[in-house]
Amino acid sequence: MQVTVNGEDTELAADTTVADLVAARSGAHDRVAVALNGDVVPRSSWPATRLSPGDTLEVLAPTAGG
């Protein structure tokens, strides 16, 4: 299925969960947050949240800022 992750069209397996996506994307970051179609997905819900075709995700991590 096709979803949009951080602004990029991305092809994922049909049963991918938010937890799968974070594991694949977050590298060394452990303090990560995910928005799915404009809503926060709490960390506790990542394993049970399955993605659907056309979903839009933002996977965010800490960075320096003023």
Q: Judged by CB under 8 A, does residue 1 bind another protein?
A: no
Please select the residue that binds another protein; options are 17, 19, 20, 26, rule is CB under 8 A: 26
Residue type at 30 in one-letter notation: D
CA 19 to centroid of chain Cα atoms:
8
CB 55 within 8 A of CB 3: yes
Question: Which of 9, 11, 30, 53: binder of another protein (CB under 8 A)?
Answer: 30
Classify burial at 13, counting beta carbons within 10 Å of its beta carbon; exposed 0-12, middle 13-18, buried 19 or more. exposed
Smallest gap from residue 24 Cβ to another protein (A): 10
Q: Is 17 in the site for another protein (CB under 8 A)?
A: no
Interface residue list for another protein (CB under 8 A) = 6-7, 25-35, 38-40, 42-43, 58-66
